[in-house]
Amino acid sequence: MSKPPSKSYRAFVADLYTRRSATADFGLQLRQSAQQWADDVLAALFPQLCAKSYRIATELEAELLRLEGELARMIAPLVPKGAASALDIAHAFSETLPDIHRALLLDAEAINLGDPAAESLDEVILAYPGFTAIAIHRLAHQLYRQRVPIFPRLLSEYAHQVTGIDIHPGATIGTSFAIDHGTGIVIGESTMIGNNVKLYQGVTLGALSVAKNLAKQKRHPTIEDNVVIYAQAVILGGDTVIGNNSVIGGNAWLTHSVAPYSVVQQESEVSIRSKDASGGNAVYVI
């Protein structure tokens, strides 16, 4: 038979329960509600993602008003004292939806035009993880700009969870942004990306240092207009600028700026030898 818990252990459990009862239910509910809210907003913006139809415009307007109210309800406990009210923040966010929608249509068109495998905008909007990640990022970024704590990160981590693409809500991304495949892409908080930029899977736009005292500084690179960055390229540093119309090849590692119209490639050596017909020299251990 096990020994009864000590008084100190019981005190620890009691304190833990008190802390949990104050925050845990709210945190879990907020995380799940944030995910559902993001899905519902995108469903309202794109009929391809919507499970229901609206017979008249006022029904859609009512849905958008419901989502505005839901946003206010969720962020109310997060908004610091002295800041704008949750209702004002939610209304200001709703006012940006036309611009977000226009930007996302340009993103979808850029993905469609840049991928020979894509057969339509509908396919991109419905099935492409790159579009999903960009769409949720544009919602999260707007709330980040409005200085809403925590909630934008919940949205970005939801996108990360469902797409494998990690975009910090603070990253600034221009129009006609295309992500092809996308798995493993990481885009840091202070990254600045121009217009007509295309990224492939595994690209990292990161920081050279993760020191906490650099949190408010620009730590991540700037990618100018019309740049293509191929798979597994790593670009680091807040002072690093990739000039417009450049092409960054796969597996490149950059910690310094490159001029506009540059082509950067990582040289690698590939060794080829004849295989023993018996297979004796081709033993691999994994």
User: 74 with 96: CB under 8 angstroms?
Assistant: no
Pair (157, 181) in one structural domain: no
Do the domain assignments include residue 261?
Answer: yes
Structural domain boundaries enclosing 258 = 171-266
Name the residue among 101, 33, 98 with its Cα closest to residue 67: 33
Do the domain assignments include residue 86?
Answer: yes
Do the domain assignments include residue 16?
Answer: yes
Pair (221, 261) in one structural domain: yes
Pair (29, 121) in one structural domain: yes
User: 80 with 149: CB under 8 angstroms?
Assistant: yes
> Measured between alpha carbons, how far is 169 from 171 in angstroms, rounded to an integer?
6
Predicted TM-score (pTM) of this structure: 0.86
Pair (76, 212) in one structural domain: no
- CB-count exposure of residue 132 (10 Å: 0-12, 13-18, 19+): buried
Pair (100, 227) in one structural domain: no
Pair (27, 107) in one structural domain: yes
Q: How many CB atoms lie within 10 A of CB 130?
A: 27
pLDDT of 147 above 70: yes
Counted residue by residue, the chain has a size of 286
Pair (82, 136) in one structural domain: yes
pLDDT of 82 above 90: no
Average pLDDT over the chain, rounded to an integer: 90
> Measured between alpha carbons, how far is 164 from 186 in angstroms, rounded to an integer?
9
> Measured between alpha carbons, how far is 23 from 47 in angstroms, rounded to an integer?
36
Pair (149, 195) in one structural domain: no
Of 99, 133, 164, the last residue of a domain is: 164
Do the domain assignments include residue 271?
Answer: no
Name the residue among 98, 105, 166 with its Cα closest to residue 133: 166
Please count the structural domains in the chain. Answer: 2
Phi-psi label, residue 11: left if phi above 0, alpha if psi -120 to 50, beta otherwise:
alpha
What is the reported pLDDT for 71? 97
**Of 30-39, 145-154, 248-257, 270-279, where does mean pLDDT reach its minimum?**
270-279
**Residue written as token pair 């492409």:** 128
* Per-residue pLDDT band at 283 (split at 50, 70, 90): very low
